[in-house]
Structure 1
Amino acid sequence: MRGAALPLVVALALAAAAARGAEFGVALDAPAPGAETSLGWIELRGRAGSAAPRGHDVVLALDLSDSTTAPAGVDLDRDGPGGRTSPELLAAVRAEGADGALLRRLEGRDLDDSVLFAELAAAEVLIGRLDPAAFRVGIVAFSDGARVVAPLGTPAPGLRAALARLRREFWRDLRGTNFAAAIRAATEELAPPDADARAPTPGTAPPVGGGPRVRSLLLLSDGVPTLPPHGDRPQQFAIEAAQDAALAGIRIYAYALGAEAAPGLDVFRAVAATTGGRFERIERPADAIARLRGVDLARLASLDIVNETTGQEARALRTFPDGSFDAFLPLEPGTNRLRVLAVAADGTRAVARREIAFRPPAGGDLSEALRAEQRALLDELRRRTREVELWAEIERGRAVPLRELELEAVAPAPPP
């Protein structure tokens, strides 16, 4: 292994410089300054955190090693404690050419509730929350080796198709665990020699104001690196690959899933720290669905929105990985002063305020058009409230069907 100290210092210095270069702040996209409304509610939209305007590239590295067929700790498909792998999935795997021994093994367990399928569900939920105007996304699958299954910049339908293929073809992997191969494959995808000259994918944002886009790798695994073989080489190779990723300006967000990953937590921590990223241990692998949904790529620790005139807090507040947010606030007649307070992980604070006037129509009678607008607003408020409550239930440990999760993974509306 090359000397680790100097590359580590260089990498951490680069990460700190990148963090300093992205100024922490908060900005409101809506409502406009001085806006007036005849309704008693207003929607706020904006962005907070350290997200840079030049765009963000993200690669998801998903572990397909043999151990990921173990239970994820939650009945994801809601078929009960005696559930088994669905006949539809078995038929799809059989059609792809899986042998009889593997099929018999899968028949004896519930693969729909496995660590692997929790990873795929988490990836799908995250994809639904990333604004394609700001994010380019790619997917790497790894076991004893690694391969790109969706190149960086693949549109959302293509990303979902890649995940669907992995649900059918996962059995072609199911071997050892090679962190180094995963990190290097992701690094080559995020920062090839011609990265900044590469044409942007239609529908995604090109770099703005010069300089490379922000680059992040989200590494999910339920195990300890086992390859290349012999001694501590798997760990050494993983850290070396992370050092090279750091020098390419890539942050690694490392997620250790379940008890099988416990012996390798130092490696997860090292690859994250080397790149200025973040490590998180998830004891119940199924919780990765909620954790990945809430991943923070903008260094935003908390967000508080309040109507200072009435003291009422925002309802149905949602934040997204790039720091964008939306929420609803009730208003009282007259001028309402709205405040958004954002706090960074290091305690840095940023505040934005906006005044809006609520002027109910004379006599309180709304026109037909205003009644329709109010119904639509309240319907959306109820839908988002249910979404926020649903995810709160998941974070408290309540199992929720995957189909319901997919319906609730709705990205924020773009500014008008």
Structure 2
Amino acid sequence: MRAFEAVGRAGRRWGRLAGLALLAAAPARGEGAPPEAAPAAGAEERAPVAVLVETPAPGTVLEGQLHQARITGSARANADLGDAFDVMVVIDVSASTATASGTDVDRDGVVGVDPAHELLPPGAYPSEVRSTDPQDTVLQAEVLAARALLESLDPSRVRVGVVSFAGEVDPTTGLRRRIDQHDAWLEVPLTHDYTAVQRGLTAVLARGSHGATNFAAAVRLAVAELAGVAGARSAPRDDAQKVVLFLTDGMPTLPIGRGDVEDDGDHEAAVRAADVAHKAGITINTYALGARALRYPRSATEMARRTVGNYTPVQRPGDVGVILRGTTFADVEDVVFSNLTTGELSTDVRVAPDGSFDGYVPVQEGRNRVRVTALATDGATGSVEFDLEFRKGGRTEQEKALELERLRGMNRELMLHREAEDIRRFRERQRKELELRREAGEER
């Protein structure tokens, strides 16, 4: 149910503080609000930030043992683009992804390591083993990250597909086995059925790591499916924003020359494929996992740059799960709740990559005036205000406390990997705004 919606704008990034001071002096925009003032001459106009509160619905009386009210909804940085997304997760399955990821991916209490980099007795592990715990490999981390991403998305708005890529080479020559070979595979077409996506990810793990690395083949296949060209297995959806999440632990080594080195032709092929993606309106966000990918980042960075996406270096490949959950393809960086009646601020809000949010705001018994404010990655903000009624009762204190702690834990984890300083400043400005409102009320 669409309960409350509002749109806001901000000026240049360096002028956000002044913009929020003006926001504090005036009510949030909503139905019946006066038109927004035109931006100052020379100011860069921001895309609108839309905030939609889905629950609680208007007129609902909330109950709880704790003085906390749950709020859910969604935000999007450009209201004109809508809130539907098609997301293709592209997973590197080349031989190097069998290497230890540096973290305890399967959480069995043991962190797998690469025997080649450890002081181990000769013959302790076969020469081909790259992780002492086969469940802690880079490939395992990639798949676990994709699974965690699914849990945070709204299947009614977001279709997800999966592409895997590598590149078979002749062990004698080091060249491609065949000129017409396929180096990328569509594991799951774009779908709202996340159970099917989970099955596809299981199949990726079952086949394991193999071969070289063909960035271009992976991007071309992802673009074909997202664009819905002739022969694609994914139905086209014109109203959806199209995104590629490209995970790799290396650099392109195919289609040109030997499969164990990066040639200029490999880089050029990847960049040309990214140019095609950009022309099709597709954004590529790249994630460089581990030391090798970070040493040779030029293709991953250029693919992201040319499609107006983001390049994210990941020092420990095992951390990609947290980072992927903290990414945003809705361009929404943070959401905070403010109780204007009590003057309290809540950052206990989970923000999903698709802009969905879920969290709690402190409330008092009776009427509460609540503001939900969203921050876009470009510094724009949007807010909406509404009234909610709260009375004590219903859900047990322990149940709600556990849910709050879960949200806080997720937020702490994500803050370690996101642009924490920008978020901290944004939240501090929201606190300052509440203080100004309180002081103004005392003076009256």
TM bin, normalised by shorter chain, reads 0.7 to 0.9
Structure 2 Cα separation of the partners of residues 168 and 342 of structure 1: 41
In percent, how many aligned pairs have the same letter? 33
1:188 aligns with 2:256: no
Q: 1:243-282, aligned counterparts within 5 Å?
A: 243-282=275-314
Q: Is the 8 A contact 1:239 1:270 kept in 2?
A: yes
Which residue is 1:224 aligned to? Answer: 251
Q: Is the 8 A contact 1:217 1:253 kept in 2?
A: yes
Corresponding residue pairs, total = 339
1:184 maps to a residue whose letter is R
Q: 1:355 to 1:215 in 2, by over 3 A?
A: same
Q: 1:311 to 1:195 in 2, by over 3 A?
A: farther
Which residue is 2:190 aligned to? Answer: 152
Q: Is the 8 A contact 2:59 2:388 kept in 1?
A: yes
Q: Is the 8 A contact 1:341 1:350 kept in 2?
A: yes
Larger RCO of the pair (alpha carbons < 8 Å, separation 6+): 1
Which residue is 1:123 aligned to? Answer: 146
Q: Deviations over 1:69-112 (max 9, x none)?
A: 11111122344558699xxxxxxxxxxxxxxxx98734973221
Q: 1:338-353, aligned counterparts within 5 Å?
A: 338-353=370-385
Q: 1:356 to 1:279 in 2, by over 3 A?
A: same
SS of alignment partner, residue 191 of structure 2: coil
Structure 1 Cα separation of the partners of residues 150 and 241 of structure 2: 17
Which residue is 1:109 aligned to? Answer: 132
Q: 1:79 to 1:298 in 2, by over 3 A?
A: closer
Q: Is the 8 A contact 1:62 1:221 kept in 2?
A: yes
SS of alignment partner, residue 152 of structure 1: strand
SS of alignment partner, residue 123 of structure 1: helix
Which residue is 1:77 aligned to? Answer: 106
Structure 1 Cα separation of the partners of residues 196 and 364 of structure 2: 46
Which of these residues, 88, 94, 99, is aligned with residue 65 of structure 1?
94
Q: 1:197 to 1:103 in 2, by over 3 A?
A: closer
Which residue is 1:374 aligned to? Answer: 395
Q: 1:197 to 1:63 in 2, by over 3 A?
A: closer
Structure 1 Cα separation of the partners of residues 234 and 205 of structure 2: 30
Structure 2 Cα separation of the partners of residues 75 and 258 of structure 1: 15
Structure 2 Cα separation of the partners of residues 23 and 82 of structure 1: 45
Q: 1:213 to 1:317 in 2, by over 3 A?
A: same
Q: 1:82 to 1:288 in 2, by over 3 A?
A: closer
Q: Deviations over 1:278-331 (max 9, x none)?
A: 111111111101011112011112222121221222364111111111111221
Instruction: Give, in angstroms, the shift of residue 229 of structure 1.
Output: 2.2
1:374 maps to a residue whose letter is R
Q: Is the 8 A contact 2:156 2:192 kept in 1?
A: no
1:43 aligns with 2:70: yes
Q: 1:314-393, aligned counterparts within 5 Å?
A: 314=346, 316-358=348-390, 371=393, 373-375=394-396, 379-389=399-409, 392-393=412-413
Structure 2 Cα separation of the partners of residues 38 and 143 of structure 1: 53
Q: 1:107 to 1:271 in 2, by over 3 A?
A: closer
Q: 1:286 to 1:307 in 2, by over 3 A?
A: same
SS of alignment partner, residue 68 of structure 1: helix
Structure 2 Cα separation of the partners of residues 82 and 307 of structure 1: 44
Q: Is the 8 A contact 1:30 1:46 kept in 2?
A: yes
Structure 2 Cα separation of the partners of residues 257 and 325 of structure 1: 28
Instruction: Give, in angstroms, the shift of residue 183 of structure 1.
Output: 0.2
Which residue is 1:161 aligned to? Answer: 199
Q: Deviations over 1:187-213 (max 9, x none)?
A: 11111236999768xxxxxx6xxx432
Q: 1:80 to 1:394 in 2, by over 3 A?
A: farther
Q: Is the 8 A contact 1:138 1:154 kept in 2?
A: no
Structure 2 residues not aligned, in runs of 5+: 1-44, 115-124, 168-182, 258-262, 418-444
Q: 1:325 to 1:154 in 2, by over 3 A?
A: closer
Q: Give the number of the structure whose residues are more often helix, by fraction.
A: 1
Decide which moves more: 341-350 or 26-35: 26-35
Q: Is the 8 A contact 2:92 2:248 kept in 1?
A: yes
Structure 2 Cα separation of the partners of residues 25 and 337 of structure 1: 19
The two structures have a TM-score, normalised by structure 1, of 0.74
Q: Deviations over 1:385-410 (max 9, x none)?
A: 2254156358659xxxxxxxxxxxxx
1:139 maps to a residue whose letter is V
1:149 maps to a residue whose letter is E
Structure 1 residues not aligned, in runs of 5+: 1-19, 86-101, 201-206, 361-370, 398-416
Which of these residues, 133, 136, 142, is aligned with residue 156 of structure 2?
133
Structure 2 Cα separation of the partners of residues 193 and 350 of structure 1: 36
Q: Is the 8 A contact 1:328 1:381 kept in 2?
A: no
